[in-house]
């Protein structure tokens, strides 16, 4: 079986070993990091650059995963390869989206059937991309699966370095909660779906414990036995527009479907277990 990852980055780096263990061959495209792709066990292809080779991989792939983010104008994969994908016949096609498509729910719960009302440009771009992928899948009978990822963390993407350096910030906005997901659990959800396809499915990928972001920083400091970073009021804290935009939406995301349909048992059901595992694995 052959898998192709278009935009082979952080999350795909954890899926690739699971595929290899099951006898798959994996090819991943990258703009400028072929060594990183190869380190995961995948065969790297430069894109842009090796479009003809990418087209050949699309034509023979049994599973195709789209990790490349959309731009302001269009989805880059559709812009370059829509015709090739229309002619392809994979048994599974996955698209990584974001829970940002749901917009702000003032801390309330959302699931896969919640209307999409994004309030940020990034969320709006993702809704447009999901719509375009669904249109292609419907028109050409492609087995599309959409995965809406919560905030991703994991090895190399955690709060420990900033806490150790004294640069971590504990921004407090009353009522603010985020859902998040450990990258290893993203990989196992994708693997479960590849093994049990349901074309047209949409899955939220998040853990069991939506929590305020300041709690995560506080727990990291506790695990490191370092002083708690001082609390800063969101209303007056100096932040870049990009940083402030992450606080524009507050919601709790349900993960019931990945458990009920795919039988997933999360490795890290909350940030406490995830951070504990990361600290145990990271060099001090």
DSSP structure string for 191-250: HHHHHS--TT-EEEE--S--B-HHHHHHHHHHHHT-PPPPEEETTTS---HHHHHTTS--
pLDDT, average across residues 201-209 = 98
- Identify the band that residue 125 occupies on the pLDDT scale cut at 50, 70 and 90: very high
Q: Tell me, yes or no, if the pTM score tops 0.75.
A: yes
CA–CA gap between residue 93 and residue 89 (Å, rounded): 9
Is residue 276 included in any domain, yes or no? no
Residue 171 lies in a domain: no
Would you state the pLDDT for residue 73? Answer: 84
Do 153 and 183 meet the contact criterion of CB atoms below 8 Å apart?
yes
Whether residue 232 is contained in a domain is answered as no
Q: Is residue 273 part of a domain?
A: no
**Residue 145: enclosing H or E segment and its boundaries?**
strand 144-149
Q: What percent of the chain has pLDDT over 70?
A: 99
- Contact (Cβ atoms closer than 8 angstroms) between residue 216 and residue 275: yes
Contact 106, 176 (CB under 8 A): no
At residue 53, does pLDDT exceed 70? Answer: yes
> Is the residue at 222 inside a domain?
no
Predicted confidence (pLDDT) per residue in 158-174, tens digit: 999 999 999 999 999 99
Q: Is the pLDDT at 283 greater than 70, yes or no?
A: no
**pLDDT confidence tier of residue 20, bands split at 50, 70 and 90:** very high
**CATH number of 90's domain:** 3.40.50.720
Total domains in the fold of the chain: 1
| pLDDT at site 242 | 87
Residue 45 has what pLDDT? 98
Helix axes 76-87, 51-60, angle to 10 degrees: 40
Residue 185 Cα distances to 81, 207, 266, 271, angstroms? 29, 9, 6, 12
Cβ–Cβ under 8 Å, residues 130 and 96: no
Give the mean model confidence (pLDDT) for residues 89-94. 98
In a domain, 50, yes or no: yes
Binned at pLDDT 50, 70 and 90, residue 269 comes out as very high
237 inside domain: no
148: domain range?
2-158+180-208+253-268
Report residue 282's pLDDT band, with 50, 70 and 90 as the boundaries. Answer: confident
Please state, in angstroms and rounded to a whole number, the distance separating the CA atoms of residues 78 and 74. 8
Q: What is the pLDDT of residue 276?
A: 97
- pLDDT over 80 at 203, yes or no: yes
Domain presence at residue 11? yes
- Residue 206 — pLDDT band, cuts 50, 70, 90? very high
Average pLDDT for 135-149: 98
Q: Give the per-residue pLDDT at 284.
A: 54
């Amino acid at each position: 079986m052959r898998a192709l990852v278009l935009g082979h980055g952080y999350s795909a780096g954890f899926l690739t070993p699971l595929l290899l263990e099951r006898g798959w061959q994996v090819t991943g495209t990258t703009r400028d990091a072929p060594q990183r792709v190869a380190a995961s066990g995948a065969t790297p292809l430069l894109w842009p650059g090796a479009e003809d080779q990418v087209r050949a991989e699309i034509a023979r792939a049994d599973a195709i995963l789209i990790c490349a983010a959309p731009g302001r104008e269009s989805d880059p994969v559709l812009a370059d390869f829509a015709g090739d994908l229309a002619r392809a016949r994979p048994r599974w096609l996955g698209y990584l989206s974001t829970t940002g498509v749901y917009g702000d729910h003032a801390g309330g719960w959302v699931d896969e059937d919640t209307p999409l009302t994004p309030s940020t440009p990034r969320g709006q771009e993702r809704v447009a991309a999901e719509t375009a992928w669904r249109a292609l899948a419907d028109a050409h009978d492609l087995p599309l699966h959409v995965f809406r990822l919560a905030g991703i963390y994991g090895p190399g993407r955690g709060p420990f370095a900033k806490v150790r350096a004294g640069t971590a910030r504990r921004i407090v906005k009353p009522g603010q909660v985020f859902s998040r997901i450990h990258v290893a659990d993203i990989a196992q959800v994708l693997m479960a779906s590849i093994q049990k396809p349901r074309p047209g499915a949409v899955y939220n990928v998040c853990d069991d414990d939506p929590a305020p972001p300041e709690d995560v920083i506080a727990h990291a400091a506790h695990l490191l036995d370092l002083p708690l970073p001082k609390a800063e009021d969101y209303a007056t804290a100096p932040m870049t527009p990009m940083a402030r935009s992450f606080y524009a939406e507050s919601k709790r995301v349900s993960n019931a479907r990945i458990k009920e349909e795919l039988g997933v048992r999360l490795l890290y059901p909350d940030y406490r277990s995830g951070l504990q595992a990361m600290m145990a694995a990271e060099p001090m």
